[in-house]
Amino acid sequence: MSDNFYIEILHQDKNCGARYGYLHTPHGVVELPMFRPVGTQATVKRISPEELTARGSGVVLANTYHLALRPGTKIVKAAGGVQKFRNYKGPRLTDSGGYQVFSLTKLRDKITEEGVRFKDPLSGDTHFFSPESVIGLEEDIGADIIRSFDECAPYPCTKEYRKNSIERTIRWAKRGLAAKKRTDQALFGICQGGDFADLREYCAKELTKLPFEGFSIGGTAIGEPRVTEYHEVGLTIPYLPYDKPRYLRGIGSLDRRFDGVRKGVDRFDCVLPTRLARHGSIRTHHGRINIRKGKYADDFSPLDEECDCYACRNYTKAYIHHLRKCQEGRGARLCSIHNIRFLIQAREEAREAIKNDRFLEYAAMRLDEFGSPRGC
């Protein structure tokens, strides 16, 4: 077990499974539920660590696979770990690289019992990832929360393939636990199973027998229909322990985040806020806008009248439109600051709603204001 890591649930909404509380980590305490910005290569695109802290970011994610390629985890370790390397004083989490097993099929060899060999697209070198080596890489990086190496099976796939994949994920989970040496990092297991109810149940029950300190709901948002994504979360949550954190990765729309919170998920992450911002797409309380459109050239209102972020407090749509038309990097940065704050602010509001047993009412109101049932 890791030092100074635990979840403190203070209240559950009496009308649903939404939970309010605190996550205690070696690098600080954060409120739950929370949105976690993604800093794949130890940086959230265009936003400084100080700005993330000011936005209320809490935990920030980095990716083991990408840091192993550049700059190399030994350099991160020599810097004193990812917090010092990045100069971010809050808690960090690393993804194990299991998602890259799914997403980078053109850069990897066949999955074997031992692990997966990837080709470095930059140098042409090969890198072998196994449950044991991934734990070693994550211990070099030094995040507060690390994740077990798993196989994220594609969607769709046969039930037989999915079952074999789950069995491998469970075996890899046991190997990763056996390899872990540091006591100041919390290791999370990753529950797979796709849209098969019995496999979701089986995987969750098997992993919760092991001494993990939290659990991720894996294999969602990988191309399946939206209704299936909702279904997959609901198939896993009932089998996860109440007194350990629950994490759902890669979820960027308000409807799926609200659905996860309603069912008892504590933490979410997604690259969508900064990805949208790079293309001029802004999420506001009243829907999504594209700031590059000509109608904003003389609009002197903020991006979102109800947002308290730096961009909305100091600049107008007209100015940010001008920056984007001129291809000035500051425009994309201001859009990113806003989009990150938009999701963090939604989580702050959700926490207050949970404490007052009105989360369902709040979620319905926000989606109605946004003008889209998807909220994206």
- Residue 252 pLDDT: 86
Q: Is 269 a catalytic residue?
A: yes
DSSP-based three-state secondary structure for 72: coil
- Residue 376 pLDDT: 65
* 28 and 110 fall within a common domain: yes
Domain CATH number, residue 249: 3.20.20.105
* 215 and 338 fall within a common domain: no
Q: Cβ contacts of residue 244 below 8 Å, gap of 6+? A: 7, 212, 213, 214, 215
- Residue 184 pLDDT: 96
Confidence at 54, pLDDT banded by 50, 70, 90: confident
- Is 276 contained in some domain? no
The single-letter DSSP state of residue 125 is -
Confidence at 1, pLDDT banded by 50, 70, 90: low
* Domains contained in the chain, number: 2
- Residue 374 pLDDT: 67
CA distance 257 to 239: 20
> What are the angstrom distances between the C-alpha of 200 and each of 17, 102, 270, 283?
19, 18, 22, 33
Which residue's structure tokens are 């046969």? 158
Q: Which long-range contacts (CB under 8 A, 24 or more apart) does 207-212 make?
A: 207/170, 207/173, 208/239, 208/240, 208/241, 210/173, 210/174, 210/177, 211/1, 211/177, 212/148, 212/173, 212/177, 212/187, 212/188, 212/244
Q: Is 95 a catalytic residue?
A: yes
The domain boundary residue, chosen from 270, 305, 325: 270
Q: How far is CA 374 from the centre of its chain?
A: 18
What is the span of the domain harbouring residue 303? Answer: 283-370
Residue of 13, 95, 195, 259 with catalytic role: 95
- Residue 326 pLDDT: 97
Residue of 195, 255, 266, 269 with catalytic role: 269
CA distance 267 to 60: 11
Angle between helices 226-236 and 197-207 (to 10 degrees): 40
β-strand 34-37 against 267-270: which pairing, if any?
parallel
| Cα angle: 268, vertex 139, 275; to 5 degrees | 35
